[in-house]
């Protein structure tokens, strides 16, 4: 079950995960930028592919508003590399194989499909401000129009800070 959920306004604890880029990525490296972290269930599945491509197609707009994108799932780096390569994803996919970061965000949950229960990532997205503080969250995400909604929140956050 979800062990803990971060609260709006809370600074997200630092973490380091291996990335599809071949390096490790540490959250605090992005201080001074807004960070969009989206958790997705599995590489190469239809919904996750659509979501990744929707974020990919808006990467430039996120960058224009000082935001970076990070995708996280429990898949290993090999799987992430295939997925990122096949769909030309310009942002890192982070591998959370032990689910520690997913648990920290409260997205590692009991799910039901076809009458059976299993643990997995509940599709969710989080927006962190330049200080690493959680400012918005989307839980139980529906893929359609989600990337655009997140981009709008990034724009809105930028406007509120001016």
Catalytic residues, by residue number, are: 48
84 contacts 75 by C-beta, under 8 angstroms = no
Collapsing DSSP to helix, strand or coil, 69 comes out as strand
Residue 69 CB burial class (10 angstroms; 0-12, 13-18, ≥19):
buried
Collapsing DSSP to helix, strand or coil, 89 comes out as coil
**Rounded Cα gap, residues 142 and 134, in angstroms:** 20
Structure tokens at 108: 């590692």
Looking only at the bridges linking them, the beta strands covering 16-18 and 24-26 are antiparallel
Angle between helices 146-161 and 46-56 (to 10 degrees): 40
What is the maximal distance between C-alpha atoms in the chain? Answer: 49
């Amino acid at each position: 079950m979800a062990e803990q959920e971060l609260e709006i306004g809370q600074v997200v604890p630092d973490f380091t995960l291996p990335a599809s880029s071949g390096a490790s990525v540490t959250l605090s490296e992005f201080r001074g930028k807004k960070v969009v972290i989206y958790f997705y269930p599995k590489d190469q599945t239809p919904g996750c592919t659509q979501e990744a491509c929707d974020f990919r197609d808006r990467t430039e707009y996120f960058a224009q508003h000082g935001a970076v994108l990070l995708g996280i799932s429990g898949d290993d780096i090999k799987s992430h590399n295939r997925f990122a390569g096949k769909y030309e994803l310009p942002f890192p996919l982070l591998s959370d194989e032990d689910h520690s970061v997913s648990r920290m965000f409260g997205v590692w949950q009991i799910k039901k499909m076809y009458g059976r229960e299993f643990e997995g990532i509940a599709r969710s997205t989080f927006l962190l401000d330049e200080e690493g503080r959680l400012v918005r969250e989307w839980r139980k995400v529906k893929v359609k129009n989600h990337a655009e909604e997140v981009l709008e929140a990034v724009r809105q956050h930028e406007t509120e800070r001016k």
